[in-house]
Each structure stands twice: as C-alpha cells, then as structure tokens.
C-alpha cells in the first residue's frame, strides 16, 4: 500500500518536472553590460553587424517581440560584453588628432576601445569612419602636443608641473615614454598655464570623404595659430594657402587609376621657432565608376610608350609648380557648346585592340575648326605649342597648383606669359594629335594629377 502510494507520488513529481523543463521560459534582459541607444535609421541587422553578433541574439537578450519594430530611443543590451559597464555611442573619427588622443580624452583604455570596435590592426582605421566610444564623466583637461626634440623634463618645465604628472595622467609607466608627435592631456586644475610650443589643430575638414578616384580633394585646416602647415597625401606634396577667413586650404587630385584602399595623410605644423608637430591618418579611397568608351583605332606612334611617356612627363613638369597667388574667381565653359560632349572624364579606353588600361583624362566638347576655344578661368599661359599626342596645346596656370589644358587645337592665339581672363579666345578647335575627328579636349590638373573637370566647371572651389 505504502509502496504503491510512494510510486504514484514519484511518477507525478517526475511528470511535473519534465513538463516544467519543456515549457518555454521568458528571457530576462541583462541588467548590466554594454548598452546602445537606437538612433533614427538604425536596423537590428546593422547593429548586429557592427558588434559582431546576430539579430537573433539581440532579440533574445532584449526581449524584443517584433524585429520589424525598432523605435529610436530604445536602449539595447549588447551581448558578449557582460563585463563592460556603460553606454556605447557612435562618433566619427576626426582627421586632426590621433586615435590614441581621442581615446585618452574619454579616459577609456585603448584595449577596451579596440575590443568594442573589434580592432585587430589600428593601422586599418581611417579618418571619417564610424567609431564607437564609451563616454564617462570627463575631467577638466587641456591638450599639450609633444613636439620633436622636446625631452620629458623640458616639457614638464614648460608646463610648470611635476614631470611624473603627465605620465600618470596619460597611463605611461615613466616620463621618458613621452614621444614626439603625441598629444598629452593634462588635468586643468594642476596645470597653472598650458604653455605649448605649438597649437593643436581645431579642425581638419576633408572633402569628399571617402576620397574618390579622379576627384579633387579639399583639405581645410583651422586653429593652427601662427604655425605653418605642410604635408603629403598618398605621396603627393600638399600646398596650403590662406583663405579669406583665416583658414588654410590645400587642393590635391587623386589619380583616376589609383587602387582603392587607404591613403596616408601626413600634416606637419611648424612654429616660428622651428618646433614641429606631425599628425598622421589614413583616408579611405573608394572606386569611382566613370564608364567605358568604345574601342579606338589610332596610329601606333600615338600609343608608343617611347612617345607618350616623355610627353606626359613634360606636361607634369610644367604643372608641378604651385604659385601662391590664386588667379581664378570662377570657371566658364571653354566651348560654345557648353554641355555637348563626345566623351567625359575617366572613361576606360582600349586602343588598337589593347586591354582597357587607358582612361580619358578630360572632357571632349563637340566642335569644328570654325569654333573658338576659350580660357576657362583667369590665369597665365605657361605652355603654347605643338605636342605629338595632344596636338596643338595650351596650358594655363590658375595658381595654387591648379591648371587647365586645351588639346588638339587647329590654331593657337596666345603665347607663354600671357595673362588671360575667363572667356577669352585662346585658339580654334581642331583635329591635331591623337584624334578621330575635330573636337576640343579640356583637361584639369590639380596637384600634378588629372581630375574630373566637371567639378571645376560647376564652380565647387570658388569660396576661398
């Protein structure tokens, strides 16, 4: 009797336990860990991709019943970061300071920032990319760039502070770990006067971002005090010139056939006493699709490297200088037929059955030997004469390393040294050089690189 009752009780307990195990359990959201506040335009798929998780995990961890309803302002817990406390915020990496300085300002260790952003190679970072940070309450702090040749003791003396304070506040093991071109942050309440040998840039605006093949890159710097600026972009020397608002600007072309990827940008500020501070960043270069032309058949001499390469070198030697005076105020069409092209910039080309390894370096305007060619902007003629591939050619310098070229003319009406204004007739359209018929080839060269002329004819670079 007792054994029968006990047996029934055990069976009931077993069934109850199994039923409880099989019933679905509600998933509890984490109360601690890394959080992210949804912004307008966010999708669960993009959030999951940024934090190397899945949409399913986000749904389960956050008890989201409908994945298609994600309201801005919703606070999500990010799985995989249960040991991290704080809210993660997306920002854009600036071009005017290093990632280390950017991280130091938030008082969050580099290793944690790398973990949040899944960074295995810091050199893969580039200015303008989205970067996630955890903001904590910032201490009042001031920036102090470390210039080349400045020892730790000299730096401390200039700041009127204990030499160990900088290393302690910046998580350095010792003062001698201060390195040139680092930017240190110092506690404002312990530094009586921030005496820096050189000011920090307050902004460095780069357009377009990302960079584009065949486009003109504009680099606008502000907040550099009395320092002078120079630098390089992708191996090309940058020439900075003053603007009307006290900023400085450099214009540099990006080659049409440059491989997409990361291009190094190096900016050096030099104080009147010779103290120098260098900033280095990567900029992302994206591919630009300009289309493809039909195959061309031309005389073999026009594609012979023994002919084409010396001529191109000659053109680039002429356009390598960057005179400091800006002569242009606006650009106008060099042709009477302003919007009628037979070919546009950047189109890939094949000559005599070759692969499409060539590209068209300008705009081809329709025309005949009866039509004039006009100067596109104010400038000085720096070349006027015959070339093999380009035929009768004129090159005009507009200052700041900006040049315009006019190829295949039947007649040249200007000479080297002439100052011309926008709209002045400089010659007549023709069919000289490597052509299949009469037309005006118009070219823009900026920073010794051929660029898309349409941006200049649209007057995108007149506000200086």
Residues 263 and 281 reside in one and the same domain: yes
Provide φ and ψ at 90, rounded to 5°: -80, 135
- Residue 8 domain-assigned? no
pLDDT at 75: 93
- Residue 96 domain-assigned? yes
Residues 39 and 110 reside in one and the same domain: yes
Residues 310 and 449 reside in one and the same domain: yes
pLDDT at 274: 79
Residues 243 and 369 reside in one and the same domain: no
Residues 246 and 155 reside in one and the same domain: no
Three-state helix/strand/coil letters over the chain: CHHHHHHHHHHHHHHHHHHHHHCCCCCCCCCCCEEEECCCCCCHHHHHHHCCCCHHHHHHHHCCCCCCCCCCCCEEECCCCCCCCEEEEEEECCCCCCHHHHHHHHCCCHHHHHHHHCCCCHHHCCCCCEEEEECCCCCCEEEEECCCCCCHHHHHHHHCCCHHHHHHHCCCCCHHHCCCCCEEEEEHHHCCCCCCCCCCCCEEEEECCCEECCCEEEEEEECCCCCEEEEEECCEEECCEECCCCCEEEEEECCCCCCCEEEEEEEEEECCCCCEEEEEEEEEEECCCCCECCCECCCHHHHCHHHHHHHHHHHHHHCCCCCCCCCCCCCCCCCCCCCCEEECCCCEECECCCCCCEECCCEEECCCCCCEEECCCCEEEEEEEEECCCEEEEEEECCCCEEEEEEEECEECCCCCCEECCCCEEEECECCCCCCCCEEEEEEEECCEEECHHHHHCCCCCCC
Q: How far apart are the first and last CA of the chain?
A: 103
pLDDT at 272: 83
Residues 304 and 449 reside in one and the same domain: yes
Residues 261 and 371 reside in one and the same domain: no
Residues 118 and 180 reside in one and the same domain: no
CA gap 255, 345 in Å, rounded: 12
Residue 440: CATH number of its domain: 2.70.70.10
Residues 357 and 396 reside in one and the same domain: yes
CA gap 366, 343 in Å, rounded: 9
pLDDT at 159: 57
Look up residue 266 and give its two tokens: 């190096």
CA gap 287, 348 in Å, rounded: 13
CA gap 132, 39 in Å, rounded: 14
CA gap 383, 319 in Å, rounded: 10
Provide φ and ψ at 101, rounded to 5°: -65, -40
| Residue in this structure with the two tokens 């010139």, named with its chain if needed | 241
| Residue in this structure with the two tokens 């060269």, named with its chain if needed | 445
CA gap 397, 377 in Å, rounded: 9
- Structural domain boundaries, residue 60: 34-134
Residues 396 and 318 reside in one and the same domain: yes
Residues 361 and 438 reside in one and the same domain: yes
| Residue in this structure with the two tokens 């504009």, named with its chain if needed | 218
Residue 150: CATH number of its domain: 3.10.350.10
pLDDT at 22: 41
Give the dihedral sign, CA 424/429/432/435.
positive
Residues 426 and 336 reside in one and the same domain: yes
Over the chain (464 residues), what is each successive 10-residue block's mean pLDDT?
Answer: 48 45 39 85 93 93 87 92 90 75 74 88 80 71 59 56 61 57 62 53 85 96 85 95 93 97 90 80 92 92 94 97 96 95 96 95 96 98 97 98 98 98 97 95 98 97 89
Provide φ and ψ at 430, rounded to 5°: -155, -160
Burial of 147 (0-12, 13-18, 19+ CB in 10 A): buried
Single pTM value for the model: 0.74
pLDDT at 292: 95
Q: 218: which strand partners? A: 207, 251
pLDDT at 452: 98
392 within 8 A of 428, measured Cβ to Cβ: no
Burial 223-236, CB ≥16 within 10 A → b, else e:
ebeebebbbbbbeb
How many domains does the chain fold into?
4
User: Of 88, 109, 134, which closes a domain?
Assistant: 134
């Amino acid at each position: 009797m007792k054994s029968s009752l006990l047996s029934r009780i055990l069976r009931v307990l077993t069934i109850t336990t199994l039923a409880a195990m099989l019933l679905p359990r509600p998933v509890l959201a984490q109360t601690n860990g890394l959080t992210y506040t949804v912004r307008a335009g966010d999708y669960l798929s993009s959030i999951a991709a940024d934090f190397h998780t899945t949409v399913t995990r986000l749904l389960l961890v956050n008890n989201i019943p409908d994945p298609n309803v994600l309201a801005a302002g919703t606070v999500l817990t990010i799985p995989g970061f249960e040991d991290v406390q704080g809210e993660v915020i997306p920002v854009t990496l600036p071009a005017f300071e290093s990632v280390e300085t950017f991280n130091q300002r938030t008082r969050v260790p580099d290793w944690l920032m790398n973990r949040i952003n899944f960074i295995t190679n810091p050199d893969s970072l580039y200015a303008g990319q989205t970067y996630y940070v955890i903001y904590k309450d910032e201490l009042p702090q001031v920036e102090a760039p470390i210039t080349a040749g400045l020892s730790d003791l000299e730096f401390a003396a200039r700041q009127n502070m204990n030499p160990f304070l900088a290393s302690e506040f910046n998580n350095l093991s010792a003062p001698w770990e201060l390195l040139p071109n680092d930017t240190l942050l110092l506690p404002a309440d312990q530094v009586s006067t921030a005496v820096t040998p050189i000011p920090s840039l307050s902004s460095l605006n780069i357009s377009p971002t990302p960079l584009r093949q065949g486009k003109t890159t504009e680099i606008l710097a502000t907040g550099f005090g009395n320092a002078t600026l120079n630098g390089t972009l992708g191996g090309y020397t940058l020439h900075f010139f003053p603007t009307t608002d006290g900023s400085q600007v450099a214009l540099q072309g990006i080659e049409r056939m440059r491989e997409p990827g990361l291009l190094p940008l190096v900016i050096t500020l030099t104080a009147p006493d010779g103290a120098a501070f260098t900033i280095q960043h990567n900029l992302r270069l994206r591919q630009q699709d300009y289309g493809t032309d039909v195959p061309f058949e031309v005389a073999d001499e026009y594609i012979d490297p023994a002919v084409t390469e010396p001529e191109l070198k000659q053109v680039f030697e002429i356009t390598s200088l960057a005179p400091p005076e800006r002569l242009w105020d606006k650009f106008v069409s060099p042709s009477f037929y302003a919007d009628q092209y037979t070919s546009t910039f950047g189109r890939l080309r094949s000559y005599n059955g070759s692969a499409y390894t060539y590209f068209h370096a300008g705009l081809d305007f329709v025309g005949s030997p009866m039509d004039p060619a006009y100067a596109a902007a104010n400038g000085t003629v720096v070349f006027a004469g015959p070339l093999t591939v380009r035929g009768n050619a004129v090159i005009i310098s507009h200052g700041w390393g900006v040049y315009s070229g006019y190829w295949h003319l039947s007649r040249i009406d200007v000479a080297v040294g002439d100052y011309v204004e926008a709209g002045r007739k400089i010659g007549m359209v023709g069919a000289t050089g490597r052509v299949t018929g009469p037309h005006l080839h118009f070219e823009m060269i900026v920073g010794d690189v051929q660029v898309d002329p349409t941006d200049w004819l649209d007057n995108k670079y007149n506000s200086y």
